[in-house]
Structure 1
Amino acid sequence: MPAAPLTIERLRAEGMILLECVSGSRAYGLATADSDTDIKGVFYLPKSYYFARHSDYIAQVSNRSNDIVYYELGRYVELLLQNNPNMMELLATPAEHILYQHPLMAHFSADWFISKLCQKTFTGFASSQIKKARGLNKKIVNPMSRKKKSILEFCSVFIDGRSMPLNEWSQKTATDQRSIGLAAMAKATHMYAMYIDKTETLGFSGLYQHADATQLRLSAIPKGMTPIAYLSFNEQGYSKYCRDYKEYWEWVANRNETRYQSTIAHAKEYDAKNMMHTIRLLEMAYDIATTGKVIVERPNRDALLSIKAGQSEYNELLEQADHLSIQIATAFERSHLPDAPNEQAALSALVTVRDRLYASTD
């Protein structure tokens, strides 16, 4: 009989949760009236899962909206050894935001994990937030029509020593695409000889099979038939357009509407929340380099919330991020932090904790 699935409800009912903390904006001290309550934590796999189903290892369990996430103990330690910002923040959660902590979690010391590797991971996460903000900026400034362009809009006709868009040529000559036959031209990429059969008796394939086609169709051309023109297909441009179209409308379908409307309302054309987290992550990296501590609750709430409210210009925030990055690099060069976490101590503690957990379930 297959084992019951691991759910948040089961983790709680069977006492598998080792750490449970309020995270996100409430832990950062940046919560506002409309802020959700995010929960992060650590659980351990039942002994039967860990030993009998190790090839089916379950690294995390979350709810559908992903605002409640628990990481399996081994995955938690693995990410700490990578100086993953989310896990470093979880390890350093202020006491008032810790909802539950199993006594065995005291075996893990923050001092083992804080290292110069944090420069790379925290600034890397910050860069990803900038990319998200830039991506939203691009989508807002360049919205895409719901009506998808056809492959024909990326084709040009060369005739009588000049070129024109295929659709324009088709309208001028009253030529339906179904009466066109194409033949590939040797040693000419995406160039085709065009033949016309307005009687539609030669069985030409036309230019495409259906409106969403991604490739042009070739036809069997009778020997000796003379091309009336030549066609060029911008395949690279069409492929990029299709990718952008798919990405844009997936973003529209999945975007956080509240955040999007907030972005529209402050009319700065970037995701202000992403940019707030960019600055927060960079400031935390600087704290780590200069104090040796992960300071989760931010001391400059008003300044960060003003960024979230869209009270800063986008380019000013990019300049601020660049300036912070320079400060961080200098601070880590001068820091006495170890180059990497203490892997031996962390893994030894992991073994000890697992031994004790599974011994208690025998």
Structure 2
Amino acid sequence: MAKKLIANRDMFISQKCYHSFANYAFAQIKKAKGQNKWINNPKPKDQPKAIDYMYWIPKEGFDYFSWGRDDDSFACRPVKMESSKGYKLSRVEHGFGVYRVYEIDETFDFLRSGKIECSSISKEEERKNFVGLLSFNEVKYDQDCKDWKNYWGWMKNRNEHRWTKQESGELDYDAKNMLHCIRLLYSALSILTTGKPNVYVNDTQREHLLKIRNGEFSHEEILKEAEELVAKIDKTKKDLEESENPIIPKEVNRPKLLELYNELMDEFS
């Protein structure tokens, strides 16, 4: 099967390789800058805590007459919520991320695995135990937890040698991803000009790619090279579209591919 596929590999090539290779190459550029943010913005070892995203307004702060007092305090000034223990919460209607706070005994905790657990509040608790309103920035908390998880997952699985220069400040990008970007653009240009993918780079290209891998160019220099390659690819693609006998078709021949598929299934079923 493999030999037959290799013998008919030209059937799978079309001008659409432009999108596959060029788009993926620029995704690599974006990734190179994105992971550099993790280098420059390390996350603490401890996971974000929900309580750190909570502020509350004690009911005393609701007093209208607290406006303009001599001590320069303001009404409804939120303060940091120091603990989730000893309080019950109930959600405020039509108030996103806003909860009523009720002071209960110290054994109660309104946080369960980092998530708020609201409680049923009796009429007596409503009258006697209400102490204020709490605001929880859950969107920011969830995003920070996601970033924290991604960062430490990357730290755990990354190649330490690959990131040495970035951490030391010698490079401001992921050199390996930029290498792949240029290599993919080489392949795209090769397919559009010769009809074959650039599986093995020539000696000149190989030497240049190794220099990129070793961080011998700035990010701006590599971006400029990528833009020049894309310009060549764009021109080549335009020439192919205008040609009466293009070296590769605009689209693959689906009936022929289906015929090949059926032959393979008959031979190896």
The TM-score normalised by the length of structure 2 is: 0.78
Q: For 1:202-254, what per-residue CA distance to the aligned partner results, in whole angstroms no more than 9, with x for missing partners?
A: x7x43313xx4233544525132363332110111111111111111111222
- Pick one of 152, 177, 194 that aligns with 2:101: 194
What's 2:239 paired with? Answer: 334
CA pair 180-130 structure 1, distance change in 2 beyond 3 A: same
1:247-326 alignment runs, 5 A limit: 247-261=150-164, 263-264=166-167, 267-299=170-202, 300-326=205-231
What's 2:80 paired with? Answer: 166
Asked whether 1:351 is paired with 2:262, we answer yes
The answer to whether the 8 A contact 2:56-2:134 is kept is yes
Bigger helix share: 2
The answer to whether the 8 A contact 2:85-2:110 is kept is yes
- Mapped to 1, the partners of 2:100 and 2:139 lie a distance apart of 20
Letter in 2 for 1:153: D
- Shift of residue 105 of structure 1? 4.6
CA pair 230-316 structure 1, distance change in 2 beyond 3 A: farther
Structure with larger RCO (C-alpha < 8 A, sep 6+) = 2
What's 2:121 paired with? Answer: 220
- Mapped to 2, the partners of 1:256 and 1:298 lie a distance apart of 24
Q: For 1:144-198, what per-residue CA distance to the aligned partner results, in whole angstroms no more than 9, with x for missing partners?
A: 111112100111223432544524xx3xxxxx4312222211111111122334x
- Mapped to 2, the partners of 1:322 and 1:218 lie a distance apart of 58
1:108-147 alignment runs, 5 A limit: 108-110=8-10, 112-147=11-46
What's 2:72 paired with? Answer: none
CA pair 133-352 structure 1, distance change in 2 beyond 3 A: same
Which ranges in structure 2 are unaligned for 5 or more consecutive residues? Answer: 62-74, 241-245
CA pair 352-288 structure 1, distance change in 2 beyond 3 A: same
User: How many matched pairs?
Assistant: 244
Larger Rg: 2
Identical residues among aligned pairs (%):
29
- Mapped to 1, the partners of 2:49 and 2:34 lie a distance apart of 25
Q: CA RMSD in A?
A: 2.7
- Shift of residue 312 of structure 1? 1.9
Q: For 1:37-64, what per-residue CA distance to the aligned partner results, in whole angstroms no more than 9, with x for missing partners?
A: xxxxxxxxxxxxxxxxxxxxxxxxxxxx
- Mapped to 1, the partners of 2:198 and 2:94 lie a distance apart of 62
The answer to whether the 8 A contact 2:28-2:181 is kept is yes
- Mapped to 2, the partners of 1:165 and 1:244 lie a distance apart of 26
What's 1:8 paired with? Answer: none
